[in-house]
Amino acid sequence: MDLPTEIQHQAMGYDRTATMFSPEGLLLQVEYAEKTVRLGSASVGMVCSDGVFIIADKRIEDKLVVQKSANKIHEIDMHIMASVAGILSDARILVEKGQVLAQQHRVTYDSPIEPESVIKEIANIKQQFTQYGGARPFGVSLMVAGINEKKPELFTSDITGNYLSYHANAIGENDDKIKEKLRERYKEDLTIKKGIKIVLEIFREIQEKKFNINRFELVYIKSSERKFQRIVGDELKGFIKG
């Protein structure tokens, strides 16, 4: 009787280290980490004609939790933000690396860092943890958005340390369904306001009865202002009606 492939891998020990390839050419600890990311709450980012934004589902409804302590979208610099899906404690380390990098750049060059420089450095760190023994991969996918001079940009890195630039993208729970709807509705001339409305409508369609506007937070940066703006919960209702 043939055993399932995954059980064979466990029996042979291919999934016991992040540095050992399986006979199929896979790093199984990396594959498992990608499953962890898809269990995390969703974030959606979009580049618009007048700036860039990220909407994140915090998925926290406990009244005892102070909501401000559970932000999913982090400020890297006043013109750059990052959102995550997966193990949040892993993400905190990477976000702090990005914040330090941004401040070092300001001190050294007296100018704001480019968003791609931040995501590239974070992606390099994630790659190292798939190559060297004694450590596991970071169980987090990270989305970075910001303004480069006056151009809005959005990047996403995966578990392996690859990163790509996007017009719009989703990470976390139901990311495939969200991206399918984004492909249908995204247009390059969308404003931030119209883009936010589209993303909230997508969340409502996918989550159905579970949809609760109070679980979401929004951060946007306008190209003209280059300033980090956060909106949470009930304040988002205006975008649905608009």
Domain assignment present for residue 210? The answer is yes
Contact yes or no for 50/223 (Cβ under 8 A):
yes
Return d(Cα 27, Cα 133) in angstroms, integer.
Answer: 12
- What is the predicted pLDDT for the residue at 3? 47
pLDDT digits (tens, 9 = 90+) for 172-225: 999 999 999 999 999 999 999 999 999 999 999 999 999 999 899 999 999 999
Using pLDDT thresholds of 50, 70 and 90, give the confidence band for residue 133.
confident
Confidence of residue 12 (pLDDT cuts 50, 70, 90): low
Strands 151-157 and 229-232: unpaired
In a domain, 12, yes or no: no
- The tens digit of pLDDT for each residue in 85-116 reads 999 999 999 999 999 999 999 999 999 999 99
**Domain containing residue 65:** 20-241
- Asked if residue 144 belongs to a domain, the reply is yes
Q: pLDDT confidence of 26, banded at 50, 70, 90?
A: confident
Q: What is the largest CA-CA distance in the chain?
A: 66
Asked, for residue 14, whether it belongs to a domain, the answer is: no
Q: What type of residue is 225? A: E
pLDDT of residue 27: 77
The CA-CA-CA angle for residues 183, 165, 148, to 5°, reads 120
CATH number at residue 111: 3.60.20.10
β-bridge partners, 146: 80, 153
Q: Which two tokens mark 123?
A: 């992606």
Across the chain, how many H-helices and E-strands are there? 7, 10
Please check whether residue 2 lies inside any domain of the structure: no
DSSP 70: G
pTM of the model: 0.89
**E-strand spans in the chain?**
43-48, 51-57, 73-77, 80-86, 140-148, 151-157, 163-165, 168-171, 216-222, 229-232
Rounded-to-integer distance, Cα 137 and Cα 79, Å: 28
Looking at the domain assignment, is residue 5 inside a domain?
A: no
Is 32 within the bounds of a domain? yes
- Size of the chain, expressed as the number of residues it contains: 242
What domain count does the chain have?
1
Q: Is residue 158 part of a domain?
A: yes
